[in-house]
Structure 1
Amino acid sequence: MAIKDLFKQSIKVVNLGNEGFANELKNINVDTIHLQWKPIARGQVGLIKALDKLSNRPEIDEANLEVLRRINTSQAVLVDIQRAIDVISYMDEDTILHAGPPITWERMAGPMKGAIIGALIFEGRVSNEEEAVKLASSGKIKFSPCHEHNSVGPMAGIISPSMPVFVVENRTLKNFAYCTLNEGLGKVLRFGAYSGEVINRLNWMKDVLAPGLQKAIRLSGGIDIKTIIAQAMHMGDECHNRNKAGTSLFIRTIMPYLIEAKLPEKELVDIVKFVNGNDHFFLNLSMPAAKCILDAADGVKNSTAIVTMSRNGTDFGIRVSGLKGEWFTAPAEMVKGLLFPGFKEEDCNPDIGDSAITETCGYGGFAMAAAIAIVQFVGGVPQDALNYSEKMYEITVGESNTFSIPILDFRGTATAVDVRKVIEKNILPQINTGIAHKEAGIGQVGAGLVNPPWECFANAIIKLAEKL
């Protein structure tokens, strides 16, 4: 075709870069496709150089495959319930563990402060809010991340010495993880509430729920949580924000042993009613299952795979297997989703909780395609759930051999996030989560979707390039 004839044809445009150009052409009825494209590493020269240093490195690829192997071969089994102080080695009477990376009392968000106030009242250290704030800010209480002590906690993630915790064992690699028992939704400690009803519930859980479940768990010889997660995903859960099937399967599994335990009739009825009436009860089992699996994959030399994603309501933090124990943090993002009636966006606290351990292990937001109905809770449409899960394959080392998504032809979930791929492809991990009120004492106000801050991964890739 002669050049003079080219502009006699109908023009079709593919626009790359600034979307404003595409919009202008569409406004004058030019057939235009805008290509969503960003340069590698957002065009940041330092990050591109770091990626170059970490590319085509067989020892890194082998290390990441070892991380994936450990994740896929680990078996998470619920073996007991104990008091936190009796099983968490770091814990003493003056210790409180919290969600997310390290933080001081002064920098803590409202819901975390509220949960600590409630924990100090629950422990009998104080009798009211004023006394709790004075003690918490005095320097006498040691605050430390759950993640640094083989533990996890949803939302504020508070674990105090007397709280009962699930004990989950990785029977393949012989390590343990711990998590408190789930209180339910709404006005609960983990969302920063500390009223009388919250403390009364915690005391009942300590005095009745935990001892009853402990007897049943011990009679069972151990309950395979990893297998329940896999089954629940085939029944519509993703085991982070949707746990209806997981909770039902857990009740079904433990019920014979609860009956065999010969508990007083009222205690048995109350325990079963409580677990049955709390669709999120299984969350506090799916989380320590992921934790004991990922702890076993931590510390693999040369690995660029992520073993921790967590937030404390102020900061978001990640940890990388090949940089064992080192946090990379940035300000936590706001969660976008559906709010309970009467609440507005300005009421919400930034992202908070250890529950992103589920996404780190290959379920939760990574498995939303298995839980299409979850969009009714976190927002969006069914196609969004499919899109989120499919996109995560682009940033992971491989796929799970246990957790699979029926609608994707039972493909294993995307597993083991590779920091290099996050930076190279400009794709951030997808997390779904609850939303806490920004003020202490109020509790949950909604649920939604969020991504980690880019800077966590950017800082990690620089450090990896320096070290590896």
Structure 2
Amino acid sequence: MRDLLFGTPTVVAAGVDVFSDALRAQGADVHDVDWRPPGLGDPADLATLALDRRRAAANRTAVERVMAAGSRLVDVRPARDVLGLPDRTLLHAGPPIGWDDASGPLRGALIGACLFEGWASTVEEAERLLASGGIALDPCHHHRAVGPMAGVTSPSMWTWCLEDPVTGGRAFCNLNEGLGKVLRMGAYNDEVLARLRWMRDVLGPVLQAAVRSMADPLDVKAVLAQMLQMGDEGHNRNRAGSLMTLRELSPAVVEVDAPSSDIAAVLRFIGGNEHFFLNLGMPTAKLALDAARDVPGSTMVTVMSRNGTEFGIQTAGTGDRWFTGPANTPVGLFLGDYGPDDANPDIGDSAIMETYGVGGFTMAAAPAIVRFVGGTVPDALATTERMYQLTLAENPAMQVPILGFRGSPTGIDVLAVARTGWLPQINTGMAGRVAGTGQVGAGLVQPPRECFEQALAALAAEARVA
């Protein structure tokens, strides 16, 4: 220590020259290292975007639209009615994909949906129908809808119908089945199909009658904001949100003209499903991000989504164009005897929650989430802090108590991701790689770099001709 204090210092410096020059002026021995943060994409594209005069105003417009958007629950209706789904059409999570490239859990959910709809009577018949192109496949996002995990939505499935009171826009999501062996995780056994039929015949009609009878529509955005004050983060922890939803819906549910056994079953199902709110939170985020679409010059991300094979993003400045790369496999905690080899690569539209600025972005609000997805409480805090470096604003409606009620990091900026080389953090469930398995765990994952490199190039190309 004495030699360090009284000897001549030798300094290794990285970064701008000002620090090195000042030390040399004082006689220090300085060795400069040409090191730069590992950014993404072509430096020329990054420079083009950084100098785009439209960018600041366009991003301000986009993120203000996101934060201004509201979300009210206005109806519950079958998908065929609100999404205009023709017969033998299935929606799925993520960017477009065909049967040949579909992952195990997506294939399992598609098979289960064919059996549920009565388009096939056996698994083998469903596989042949799907392989022959007899079933049309299309992303949920192309229909103002979202779906967790495989996201498969068929015409007979009931959907939440949410409306933004600011823009009048609407967004939709199917009803949550619960955890374990469920269709969205790729399972399709008799238990799964029986539950889906009960949801079609009992749960959907009861919820529709209840929602339509409410004097004032449920303010879903307000529930999401309150969840963050109660230990949820809005993606993989929805306990408080689900209980608040049960509290708000129960008075209307018990007054529905239906057999008492059906009313009891509906309340029991909602009360026993900790993820019931997720399928309301996702279309809330979808409403907000759809409000920010088609803003020329904006580098803000409006969609992050996965189909189990590819991960795709969209931006406000490039409309409906997808930028894709191979989906990564989450790292986390596993159920029972399952392990890393059992997990499928990332899947689901539920990354819309992180795109909105909650979920993995607000893990600091839900330290208990680490018991479900892995990591430590300091990791959760550090993750939220880091996401502020990738976003355009802080949403005052979505506050993180442990950070002094700081607003959630909102508006992922492609330019910021490219500059820092940091990628958005997502927490997610894990589906089994083999069709029919169901859920095998939960964990943490990031998008592939390729998505942001492609988006950066496309936005730069658009800026050059603007």
| Shared fold, TM over 0.5 | yes
- Residue in 1 aligned with 2:259? 264
- Note the alpha carbon deviations across 1:259-317, whole angstroms, 9 max, x for none: 23243211111001000001001111100111111111111121110000000000000
- Residue in 1 aligned with 2:239? 244
SS at match of 1:322: coil
Quick one: distance in 2 between partners of 1:277 and 1:130? 33
Cα deviation, residue 41, structure 1: 2.0
Amino acid at match of 2:185: F
- Residue in 2 aligned with 1:26? none
Quick one: distance in 1 between partners of 2:310 and 2:52? 32
Quick one: distance in 1 between partners of 2:13 and 2:110? 52
Amino acid at match of 1:137: A
- Residue in 2 aligned with 1:360? 355
Runs of 4+ in 1 over 4 A off after TM superposition: 5-8, 10-17
SS at match of 2:91: strand
- Residue in 2 aligned with 1:95? 89
Corresponding residue to 2:369 among 352, 370, 374: 374
Are positions 1:405 and 2:405 aligned together? Answer: no
Confirm or deny: 8 A CA contact 2:305 2:347 kept in the other structure: yes
Corresponding residue to 2:59 among 64, 70, 79: 64
- Residue in 2 aligned with 1:206? 200
Cα deviation, residue 14, structure 1: 6.1
Confirm or deny: 8 A CA contact 1:40 1:48 kept in the other structure: no
Corresponding residue to 1:180 among 158, 174, 180: 174
- Residue in 2 aligned with 1:110? 104
- Residue in 2 aligned with 1:464? 459
Corresponding residue to 1:41 among 31, 39, 52: 39
- Residue in 2 aligned with 1:301? 296
- Residue in 1 aligned with 2:185? 191
Confirm or deny: 8 A CA contact 1:366 1:392 kept in the other structure: yes
> Over aligned residue pairs, what C-alpha RMSD do you find?
1.8
After TM superposition, list the pairs within 5 Å mapping 1:327-342 onto structure 2. 327-342=322-337
Are positions 1:84 and 2:82 aligned together? Answer: no
Quick one: distance in 2 between partners of 1:409 and 1:363? 16
SS at match of 1:302: coil
- Residue in 2 aligned with 1:284? 279
Quick one: distance in 2 between partners of 1:205 and 1:174? 28
Cα deviation, residue 8, structure 1: 7.6
Cα deviation, residue 69, structure 1: 1.0
Are positions 1:343 and 2:346 aligned together? Answer: no
Cα deviation, residue 372, structure 1: 0.6
Cα distance change on mapping 1:7 and 1:265 into 2, 3 Å: closer
Could you list the runs of 5+ residues in structure 1 that have no partner in the other structure? 18-34
Confirm or deny: 8 A CA contact 1:76 1:289 kept in the other structure: yes
Could you list the runs of 5+ residues in structure 2 that have no partner in the other structure? 16-32
Cα deviation, residue 171, structure 1: 1.4
Confirm or deny: 8 A CA contact 2:52 2:297 kept in the other structure: no
- Residue in 1 aligned with 2:313? 318
Instruction: Give the TM-score, by structure 2 length.
Output: 0.92
- Residue in 2 aligned with 1:168? 162
Confirm or deny: 8 A CA contact 1:310 1:357 kept in the other structure: yes
Confirm or deny: 8 A CA contact 2:88 2:119 kept in the other structure: no
- Note the alpha carbon deviations across 1:113-148, whole angstroms, 9 max, x for none: 000000000001111100000001111211111011
- Residue in 2 aligned with 1:136? 130
SS at match of 2:145: coil
Quick one: distance in 1 between partners of 2:266 and 2:14? 59
SS at match of 1:366: helix
